[in-house]
Amino acid sequence: MERNVLIDAAMGRIPCDLELKNANVIDVLGHGIKKCSIYIKGDTIVCCGRFDLKADKTVDLEGMYVSPAFVDAHVHIESSMLTPSQYARTVIPHGTGTVIADPHEIANVCGADGLRFMAEDSSPLRVHYMLPSCVPATPFDSSGAVLDADLCTELWESGAFLGMGEMMNYPGVVGCDADVLKKLDLAEITDGHIPMVSGRELQAYICGGIANDHECSTAEEALEKVSLGLNIYIREGTGAKNLEELIKAVTPYNIRHFAFCTDDKHIDDVIAEGSISHCISKAISLGMEPIDAFTLGTYNAARFYSLKGIGAIAPGYKADLVVMTEPDPRRENITAVYIGGSLYNGENKGTAADISKVAGTVHIKSVSAEELTPVFDPNIPVIETVKGSLITKPRYVSSPEGLAMCANIERHRASGRAGTAFVKGLDIHGGAVAQTIGHDSHNITVIGDDPSDMALAVNSLGADGGIAVAKSGALAASLTLEAGGIMSARPYEQVLEEYLGVSRAAAELSSDDPGQLMMLLSFLSLLVIPELKLSDRGLFDVNAFDFITKQRI
């Protein structure tokens, strides 16, 4: 909207479109609560105060609290298993108005076609995309596409991206790899990904131009990184839950360097808890001063990305607002959400993109039980999972008793390649779970205690992929994810119903929370999170950045 119109509305020369009167405004700029009216013209706030301005419509909030809509500093929309327009329908009602999204999941499967699909799948949610910097995540991955520096340069020049996505190739940065350095030169903002690295190596990585990190798992790690100039995103997703530990690092003196993010969160958790609203509410419950928690969930993230007019309630800011009965954004407290001054009612769903270029992406040969059976060797470590974390540990054991069997199968080119290993800490009995969600290359990962059930689950995935659960020689449940094998464009209500069916089937095989089991399963193949992972090429030592074993087929 033209500036003169906004000025005229603020001066009372023309009527505002909307007045939200008798509001308790959560002021993240002045760190307080203001009792006032919010005057809106078009999609923009023009005044906050007790003024006698005319408005075409007035809503009396009767003392309810109003916060800026929430900002997710780093999220992979694909992890919700929903396309962007459907994802928006799940997070906007919980108060999220803006997300900074890294679409490297679909890019690993479909390359530039996947990026175009995400951009074209629109909704009222403000989605700012980062250009994936690591497709594939490492030179050892078997991805469906490669975004090298030349292609990244071409994509960057399109103007469609806010910055560079998380730079996971730590060895490439500190080793001054030419392709990596060319990518780092493209944007002013490059997201980081540097778990459990400190000292000189961390500082060398930061010299590459990295702005932030969302992989901290201890307060000490966060404090070191803040002191070296990184902004820290406190992550609370489905698999990685770091908030309770990391808010210990936040003080009145360094709070300006922290924001909240979800990174990876499954559909059921998003719908039940929300995304950033859950981070804010949990932080408050753990003792964080409420306005500080709202600041981390709104203004700070917007400021880190120079998103003008986002993240606060003030003149010139977008009228992205969350109305609550209490200053705590629990689901039961949120009564209304406005995006650009329009009340969100669930009917403004956006425009779904053509899915044809990202469908039918699973290409495998039929696998046998024998191919998926690992050979036990006490001299080879097993993968030990850590509850509530994406970090895994190498563990040497004397026998395979009590261990789960795991395999990772290449699915982009039907190579027949599969890596196998044993896993400790994921309880599973009487069946298997297989899925085409396997960060970041999204090959097929399967875990179970019976190779026959493992093969059945894998072979049941079909050309569109998804999740399959086999039990005692029969298919127990499945979820089709037709967009790249990682998302569905169907209404989220239908996807949720099918996902819950898969979860119930998985719960019959394990004492572990099924969502945690499937999220951890999806990260067993991510070769950039310490310490021991499994790819289609074999068992991988992340710290040494090399394979321990190689695939047998």
Q: Is 175 helix (H, G, I), strand (E, B) or coil?
A: coil
- The whole-angstrom separation of Cα 440 and Cα 132 is 11
pLDDT tens digits along 249-276: 999 999 999 999 999 999 999 999 999 9
Contact 438, 409 (CB under 8 A): no
- The whole-angstrom separation of Cα 116 and Cα 131 is 11
pLDDT tens digits along 300-343: 999 999 999 999 999 999 999 999 999 999 999 999 999 999 99
Phi-psi region at 300: left, alpha or beta (left = phi > 0; alpha = psi -120 to 50): alpha
Listed in order, the ranges of the chain carrying CATH 3.20.20.140 are: 68-356
**Residue given tokens 């004492």 in the structure block:** 511
Element at 259 (helix H, strand E): strand 258-261
Report the amino acid identity of residue 82. Answer: L
User: ∠ at Cα 466 (461, 470), nearest 5°?
Assistant: 55
Q: Which tokens belong to 377?
A: 């060797």
- The whole-angstrom separation of Cα 50 and Cα 33 is 14
Phi and psi torsions of 419, nearest 5° = -105, 145
pLDDT beyond 60 at 551: no
- The whole-angstrom separation of Cα 506 and Cα 446 is 12
From 42, 39, 43, select the one nearest 11 (Cα to Cα). 39
- The whole-angstrom separation of Cα 113 and Cα 46 is 40
Phi-psi region at 332: left, alpha or beta (left = phi > 0; alpha = psi -120 to 50): alpha
Report the amino acid identity of residue 223. Answer: L
From 362, 314, 339, select the one nearest 486 (Cα to Cα). 362
Sign of CA dihedral 286, 291, 295, 297: positive
pLDDT tens digits along 448-466: 999 999 999 999 999 999 9
Contact 480, 464 (CB under 8 A): yes
In angstroms, the first-to-last Cα distance of the chain is 61
Residue by residue, what is the 3-state secondary structure of 332-399? Answer: HHEEEEEECCEECCCCCCCECCCCHHHCCCCCCCCCCCHHHCCCCCCCCCEEEECCCCCCEEEECCCC
Q: Which tokens belong to 76?
A: 């992979």
From 419, 359, 369, select the one nearest 553 (Cα to Cα). 419
**Residue given tokens 């982009």 in the structure block:** 412
Contact 68, 312 (CB under 8 A): yes
pLDDT band for position 552 (50/70/90)?
A: very low
Q: What average pLDDT is seen over the chain?
A: 96
HSE (side-chain half, CA atoms, 13 Å) at 316: 5
From 514, 546, 512, 513, select the one nearest 532 (Cα to Cα). 546
β-strands 342-343, 334-339: how paired?
A: antiparallel
Cis peptide before 136 (omega within 30 of 0): yes
pLDDT band for position 1 (50/70/90)?
A: confident
From the CB of residue 378, how many other CB atoms can be counted at a distance below 10 Å? 11
Averaged pLDDT for residues 404-433: 96
From 107, 71, 142, 115, select the one nearest 297 (Cα to Cα). 71
Cα–Cα distance list, 144 to 191, 306, 446, 483, 547 (Å):
23, 33, 19, 14, 21
Contact 466, 501 (CB under 8 A): no
Percentage of the chain surpassing pLDDT 90?
95
DSSP string, 114-166: HHHHHHHSB-SSEEEEEEPS-SSSSTT---S----HHHHHHHHTTT--SEEEE
- What pLDDT is recorded for position 387? 82
Contact 206, 199 (CB under 8 A): no
pLDDT beyond 90 at 512: no
**Looking at residue 115, what DSSP letter applies?**
H
User: What is the biggest distance separating any 2 CA atoms in the chain, rounded to whole angstroms?
Assistant: 81
- The whole-angstrom separation of Cα 484 and Cα 448 is 24
**Crossing angle between the packed helical segments 112-120 and 149-156, to the nearest 10 degrees:** 20
β-strands 418-424, 431-435: how paired?
A: unpaired
Q: Is 262 helix (H, G, I), strand (E, B) or coil?
A: coil
Q: What is the pTM of this model?
A: 0.95
- The whole-angstrom separation of Cα 383 and Cα 535 is 12
pLDDT tens digits along 341-383: 999 998 767 889 999 999 999 999 999 999 999 999 999 999 9
- What pLDDT is recorded for position 549? 72
| Domain 68-356 top-level CATH class | alpha beta
- The whole-angstrom separation of Cα 293 and Cα 550 is 47
